[in-house]
């Protein structure tokens, strides 16, 4: 039930979009605390979009040098909607992976995967194809009670199995 707890906590902050920077700051602080308590070395990466400054939360585990495994999720949500599946579910999976892997993991960086592609880092996206399978995606009905937590737990296990 940690997955549900992570999602409920995230949704309780309120709208997670650029129109609510104070909410994004609270979410960032919460994520930083969660990742630090999991043993991560946490930092922020600043970026500007549409004249506003935002932050990626980066948490590194394991050795400072060497190869990395990068796993990412965005913590904002579409236009102030609840965003349980956009992308509360992805954040919950990453927080649970951080907890499970702790010091064993070579490196986790939290952000949207396309950011890595732009910088020529190899990355892949794990997706549930929410646009196709969830008619509530990007609607006010994208709430925590509509997620399949058994499947989310399976995603955590599957991603964990892929990491060297």
For the chain, counts of helices (H) and of strands (E):
6, 2
Q: Encode pLDDT of 85-142 as tens digits.
A: 988 999 999 999 998 877 565 444 444 555 666 677 666 666 655 666 778 888 899 8
Domains of the chain as residue ranges with CATH: 2-162 (3.40.630.10)
Could you tell me the two tokens for 113? Answer: 């995967």
pLDDT of residue 137: 80
Residues 6+ away with beta carbon under 8 Å from 129: none
Q: What is the distance between the alpha carbons of residues 54 and 103, in angstroms, rounded to a whole number?
A: 28
Please determine, for residue 62, whether its predicted confidence score (pLDDT) is greater than 80: no
DSSP run (H or E) holding 54? strand 52-60
User: By three-state DSSP, how is residue 42 classified?
Assistant: strand
Q: What is the distance between the alpha carbons of residues 74 and 43, in angstroms, rounded to a whole number?
A: 15
CA distances from 108 to 41, 43, 78, 101 (A): 10, 12, 24, 10
CA distances from 20 to 27, 78, 143, 164 (A): 11, 12, 19, 38
**pLDDT tier, 14 (very low <50, low <70, confident <90, very high otherwise):** very high
């Amino acid at each position: 039930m940690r997955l549900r707890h992570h999602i409920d906590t995230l949704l309780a902050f309120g709208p997670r979009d650029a129109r609510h920077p104070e909410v994004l700051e609270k979410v960032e602080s919460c994520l930083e605390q969660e990742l630090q308590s999991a043993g991560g070395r946490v930092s922020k990466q600043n970026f500007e979009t549409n004249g506003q400054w935002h932050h990626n939360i980066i948490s590194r585990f394991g050795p400072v040098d060497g190869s990395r495994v990068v796993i990412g999720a965005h913590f904002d949500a579409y236009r102030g909607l609840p965003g349980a599946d956009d992308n509360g579910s992805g954040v919950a999976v990453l927080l649970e992976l951080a907890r499970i892997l702790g010091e064993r993991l070579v490196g986790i960086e939290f952000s949207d995967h396309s950011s890595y592609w732009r910088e020529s880092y190899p990355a892949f996206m794990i997706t549930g194809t929410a646009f196709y399978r969830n008619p509530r995606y990007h609607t006010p009905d994208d709430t925590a009670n509509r997620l399949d937590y058994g499947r989310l737990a399976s995603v955590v296990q599957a991603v964990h199995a892929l990491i060297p």
